[in-house]
Amino acid sequence: MTSAQMDGQPARTAFDVDQYERRVREGPCFVCALVTGHPDYRHHVVHEDDDSIAFLARNPTLLGHCLVAPKQHIESWVRDMRQDGFLRFQGIVYTVATALAATLPTERMYSLSLGSHQGNAHLHWHLAPLPPGVPYHQQQFHALMAENGVLDVDDEAQAALARDIRRHLRG
């Protein structure tokens, strides 16, 4: 039994980094595509309001890995958001993180903003609940890097997890 299975996470599977890079560099903005209903960019939404959307990662590295993004195509929270808008957005990030921690056993909630003008330019925050019991050498950046494999989760399991997270958002 792997350490991932011991900590309650599904088994990891290899991730095609080259295919992913082509998709994010050559395809449409993934957040804008999700917001407009593009069929190739469906995700399990856990929160949506007029200004923001939160959804489960398509290739999660930790169970419950969510992305939170403004609906408006913003690329830099430093240049493109005013402080009051940023603080409102961070309130949504906090609310989703709290629901994740209420849904899944969580030792630490990882929160970071990734992306680049070269790919995944739309501002988004990653929230990834680290489960208890993960060995230290498999935590932090190691736990978040798809190059170390992604969780083998099926669509039905992701849909059920999204429902559980939404229940905790309303709770």
Spatial CA neighbour of 38 closest among 23, 20, 21: 23
Superfamily covering domain 11-150+160-170? HIT-like (3.30.428.10)
User: Hey, what are 100's tokens?
Assistant: 């994740």
119: DSSP letter: B
Instruction: Summarize pLDDT for 86-132 with one digit per residue, the tens.
Output: 999 999 999 999 999 999 999 999 999 988 888 889 999 999 999 99
Residues 6+ away with beta carbon under 8 Å from 120: 24, 30, 114
Kindly report the pTM of this predicted structure.
0.91
Contact between 30 and 123 (Cβ < 8 Å): no
Domain boundaries of the chain, sorted by first residue: 11-150+160-170
Q: Is the predicted pLDDT of residue 134 greater than 80, yes or no? A: yes
